[in-house]
Structure 1
Amino acid sequence: MRVMGIDPGLTRCGLGIIDMDQGKRAGLVHVEVARTHKDLATHFRLRTVADAIDRLIHEYEPEIVAIERVFVQDNLQSVATTMQVMGAAMTCVARAGLPMAMHTPSEVKSAVTGNGTASKAQVQHMVARILGLSAVPKPADAADALAIAICQGWRGTGLLGAGDDSAVSVSISGRVRARGEMTPAQQLWAQAQAAQRRTGAVDPRLRQR
């Protein structure tokens, strides 16, 4: 399966495409960052990002697109602009008639590193290792986009519009349920999620309360 990952951002939007074989081995197809200038009006910046997404979908023909879900943070302006980019990206995916999934940052980190609170550096190095790259993709937005694509390729969940699309689920109490036998990657993700949820939160800032 060919998967496209999008790390939404108005100044830099990471765009990564991988191929995932039946053995869940991932290979790099393409990665880039769509950049916009801060002095441009927002709607023109969104057009630039959307044009880049449309171009890659047309050129590389992914079968599914995965986008990182906005993570609530203190900077409301940053959240607002990121959501605008998400909307533009979702429109591109819809126009192409492709299925789309969304994953939180902690889900992506868990899938790629086995740790939902992993640092950006840890995620970047694991992305390079998983894809067999000699160097970490730069900038960080590029590696993040590839991590999102890997997360989708391994987990296959988060599909929008599906009533119950998850083959593996972890309850708030940390109980793991699976439909069928889990792959090694799914087992690693489920164990990490269960451990985090048993402590009460994925976001480490919440554990300090």
Structure 2
Amino acid sequence: MMDALINALLPLSTPPTAPGWNHADMTELLGHSKREPAAVLVGFREGVQPRLVLTVRTDHLQAHAGQVAFPGGRSDPADDDALTTALRESEEEIGLDRALVMPLGYLDCFETISGFCITPVVAKIATEAQLYPAPDEVAEVFEVPLAFLLEPANLRRYTMEFRGRHRPMVEFVHGGHRIWGATAAMLFNLLQRMGRT
């Protein structure tokens, strides 16, 4: 299962660059304004059943409060690259020791309605990694089996009206958590790259 995932990734030696795979859609909504660089960690905890690590954002955040998200965020000028951003943000948000992370590759860049161009960094997280939510940003850390995400019946498709347009969307619901929006779209990109859509 992990082998198929790894084979679907863009290699570490050639990170993706903007624009995102959904650039045409975002241009209709945002115009040609500059997208700010950001990165997230699509981290799978190692084990017999690999499990994707996700967070629930705290309710008091200005953007995306209460939503399920990958650990990650805006790139700092001091960050060398997307990998550095993803590791730094994961350390800040969930206490993930970067020594326990093995980067595997990248998904395609993704643009968000909030004006970011996100580079998703896919990695293995060691079984023994201890994860602690930073209370000012993260309400909860939870894990979803990769097998659940790969099961076609668990991918829900729906249409959402936004600014007068009907937009096709995808979501997953696992253990009471609704995984939707940008997070679900990036997972959909992974499934597409694996030939699982």
When normalised by structure 1's length, the TM-score is: 0.28
When normalised by structure 2's length, the TM-score is: 0.29
Structure with more of its chain in strand, by fraction: 2
Instruction: Mark the structure with the bigger radius of gyration.
Output: 1
